[in-house]
């Protein structure tokens, strides 16, 4: 076993920290969560752990008859998708700039949505295509039911479906160890999940404030919802909606990206079995003899045989992995490299020249707007992977040749 065990006076921590000690703030958050009386067995910390809102990013939290909305977070269902094509590196043009521009026109990014005027550039249409229409129809009745119960959850769903967003979300074209071409992307439930998450985090705080607890809540952001309450049931309904929305969002992004590639490259096929996995979500599972809620906040499910995606940074490549089913991690692994710098710190510390050198040879943005996503802002992905050899087996290592940030 590669994890270390830390006693907390309540539930222990099992941490895959051999890549280096976790930051003090993150450790305190892990200890805070471990004090909650409904924790099941222990808290698992993945090697990419870093500070988050309420609970650390990179933590796996199993709970009995309760759930912490802030531990799930506001980017509900955020995750990764990857598909291997039949293309190989020798079928790509010498310059990839036109392909990058085509993908950027095809997929809304940053604050852009499907309704934002971009048609003059030959971009996406405001009217969704038939694939997107199917998803809109599938989600509409569910969304209306949620809003009927909680009308303060404001906003539309359709205009962001199939869009990337900003921050650490991205689209990449990559090559594997055999120079086969892959497409990989990272996004979630966009504004829809954010509004759901924010609303129920606030609702949980309001509900807890009205109760007399027989224990100390170590952080107000750990306000929880108890199973059996109407608010709990409503949150689960809305959370599942957001997770399904995130899956669909990635499918539509992938379809648009592949269509963009087809306009520039020879005819190609894709593997039928694409990988599409969440890394910010909660799900009902059985662990150590009990049915519990497992919240993976920045972690990927890695049951034996599960395929997952662990990205590094926009300059260091990524991994396709197969789960080993390690029960001590609640069958989980890291969701990436994990940050070493806050976004503000990265923008202050990393120069444009340093960023340019770090992404040399990759068709990507080289400007001050992405310095917070530069490779130096992240942990060493090699060390992170070495720290979880008992959690996953590496199937493929991907190196990006095109990277698109919001």
Q: In whole angstroms, what is the distance from residue 37 CA to residue 316 CA?
A: 40
pLDDT tens, position by position, 285-303:
999 999 999 999 999 999 9
Virtual torsion, Cα 281, 286, 287, 293, nearest 10 deg: 30
pLDDT in tens, 229-281: 999 999 999 999 999 999 999 998 999 999 999 999 999 999 988 999 999 99
Residue 366 belongs to a domain: no
Q: Is residue 246 part of a domain?
A: yes
**Mean pLDDT (whole number) for 97-119:** 78
CA distances from 82 to 27, 68, 118, 257, 283 (A): 32, 29, 27, 11, 22
How do beta strands 66-67 and 13-15 pair?
unpaired
What number of other Cβ atoms are within 10 A of residue 207's Cβ? 17
Please identify which of the residues 42, 335, 355, 396 carries the catalytic annotation: 335
Query: Is the predicted pLDDT of residue 138 greater than 90, yes or no?
Result: no
Half-sphere exposure of 6 (CA within 13 A, CB side): 19
Helix (H) or strand (E) holding 147: helix 130-149
C-alpha distances in angstroms, 273 versus 83, 142, 180? 8, 27, 16
CA proximity to 236, closest of 227, 223, 247: 227
0.85 surpassed by pTM: yes
Give me the CATH number covering residue 140.
3.90.1860.10
- Total domain count for the chain? 1
Residue 142 lies in a domain: yes
Q: Any bridge partners for residue 67, and if so which?
A: 225
The reply to whether 51 falls in a domain is: no
* 119: annotated active-site residue: no
Residue with tokens 């009308």: 151
- Structural domain including 243 reads 78-274+310-340+378-405
DSSP label of 54: S
């Amino acid at each position: 076993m590669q994890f270390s065990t830390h006693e907390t006076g309540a539930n222990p921590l099992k941490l895959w920290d051999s890549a280096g000690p976790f930051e003090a703030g993150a450790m305190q958050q892990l200890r805070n969560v471990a004090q909650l009386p409904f924790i099941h067995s222990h808290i698992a910390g993945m090697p990419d752990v870093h500070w988050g809102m309420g609970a650390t990013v990179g933590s796996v939290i199993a709970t009995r008859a309760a759930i912490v909305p802030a531990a799930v977070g506001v980017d509900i269902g955020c995750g990764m998708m990857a598909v291997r094509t039949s293309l190989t590196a020798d079928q790509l043009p010498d310059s990839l700039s036109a392909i990058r521009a085509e993908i950027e026109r095809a997929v809304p990014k940053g604050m852009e949505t499907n309704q934002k005027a971009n048609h003059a550039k030959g971009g996406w249409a405001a009217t969704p295509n038939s694939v997107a229409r199917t998803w809109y129809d599938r989600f509409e009745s569910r969304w209306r039911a949620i809003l009927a119960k909680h009308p303060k959850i404001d906003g539309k769903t359709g205009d962001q479906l199939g869009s990337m967003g900003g921050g650490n979300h991205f689209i990449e074209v990559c090559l594997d160890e055999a120079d086969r071409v892959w497409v990989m992307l990272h996004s979630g439930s966009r504004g829809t999940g954010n509004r759901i998450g924010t609303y129920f985090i606030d609702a949980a705080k309001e509900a807890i404030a009205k109760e007399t607890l027989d224990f100390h809540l170590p952080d107000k952001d750990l306000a929880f919802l108890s199973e059996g309450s109407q608010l709990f049931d409503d949150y689960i309904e809305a959370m599942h909606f957001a997770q399904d929305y995130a899956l669909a969002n990635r499918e539509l992004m992938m379809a648009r990206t592949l269509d963009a590639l087809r306009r520039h490259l020879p005819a190609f096929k894709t593997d039928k079995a694409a990988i599409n996995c969440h890394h910010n979500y909660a799900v009902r599972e059985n662990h150590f003899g009990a049915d519990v809620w497992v919240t993976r906040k920045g972690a990927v499910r890695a049951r034996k045989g599960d395929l997952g995606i662990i990205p590094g940074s926009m300059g260091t490549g990524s991994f396709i992995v197969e789960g080993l089913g390690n029960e001590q991690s609640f069958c989980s692994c890291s969701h990436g490299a994990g940050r070493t710098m806050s976004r503000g710190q990265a923008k202050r510390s990393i120069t444009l020249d340093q960023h340019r050198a770090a992404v040399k040879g990759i068709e990507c943005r080289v400007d001050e707007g992405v310095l917070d996503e530069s490779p130096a802002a992240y942990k060493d992905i090699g060390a992170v992977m070495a720290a979880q050899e008992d959690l996953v087996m590496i199937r493929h290592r991907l190196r990006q040749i095109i990277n698109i940030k919001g």
